[in-house]
């Protein structure tokens, strides 16, 4: 059983990040960050995906840490990058189909930015990149997948932890990183800052 130094907050309402963090055995709560991600990302146009992902994670963590200064706050952001272009969450079936058509039979990257806060202060930040190779897909396969999995709020228009696994031929990265919360570097940072004991 793990012992945390303080209350732990995940600055995200993502069910995927929550499921990944739950694997650690930590008790934690989820708090949504009041951050206009679209406006922030727009203001960071021209910066690298790594810089953008960390900046958005930092903004989320800062907003939640300001409301809960005594807590340990984990914040993260993920970008789907293809040809140096970041894809937004599709939101609709038509856009999901367009994005998957663009990604089919080629490689893309998922860039994760993470920041760790305590007492309102950022303690650590990191980026982790996964490369995913999507297999060749027919239009019918793409349409069927989107209908079944409804990946409208997922980076890259797929749910890797669900039926989206069928879309890929190879991945370079861990499943937790693909789902938006790379655990090994996060846990290493938490131990280094003496935020928990096993």
CATH architecture of 3-197: Alpha-Beta Complex (3.90)
**Residue ranges of the domains in the chain?**
3-197
Q: Is the CB of residue 54 less than 8 Å from the CB of residue 32?
A: no
Q: Is the CB of residue 10 less than 8 Å from the CB of residue 65?
A: no
- Per residue in 82-103, pLDDT (tens digit) is 998 999 999 999 999 999 999 9
Phi, psi torsion values for 40, nearest 5 degrees: -65, -45
Q: What's this model's pTM, rounded to 2 decimal places?
A: 0.93
Q: Active-site residue among 6, 70, 77, 139?
A: 77
- Per residue in 147-193, pLDDT (tens digit) is 999 999 999 999 999 999 999 999 999 999 999 999 999 999 999 99
Whether 36 sits among the annotated catalytic residues: the reply is: no
């Amino acid at each position: 059983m793990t012992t945390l130094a303080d209350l732990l907050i995940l600055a995200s309402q993502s069910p995927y990040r929550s499921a990944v963090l739950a694997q650690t055995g930590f008790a934690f709560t989820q708090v949504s960050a009041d951050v206009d991600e679209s406006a922030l990302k727009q203001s960071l146009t021209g910066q690298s995906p790594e810089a953008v992902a960390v900046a958005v994670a930092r903004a989320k963590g800062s907003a939640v840490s300001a409301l809960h200064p005594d807590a340990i706050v984990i914040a993260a952001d993920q970008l789907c990058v293809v040809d140096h272009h970041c894809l937004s969450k599709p939101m609709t079936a038509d856009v999901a189909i367009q994005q998957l058509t663009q990604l089919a039979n080629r490689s893309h990257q998922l860039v994760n930015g993470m920041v760790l806060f305590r007492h309102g202060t950022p303690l650590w930040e990191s980026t982790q990149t996964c490369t995913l190779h999507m297999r060749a897909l027919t239009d019918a396969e793409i349409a069927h997948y989107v209908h079944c999995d409804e990946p409208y709020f997922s980076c890259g228009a797929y749910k890797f932890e669900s039926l989206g696994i069928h879309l890929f031929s190879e991945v370079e990265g861990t499943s937790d990183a693909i789902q938006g919360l790379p655990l090994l570097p996060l846990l290493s940072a938490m131990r280094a800052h003496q935020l928990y004991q096993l």
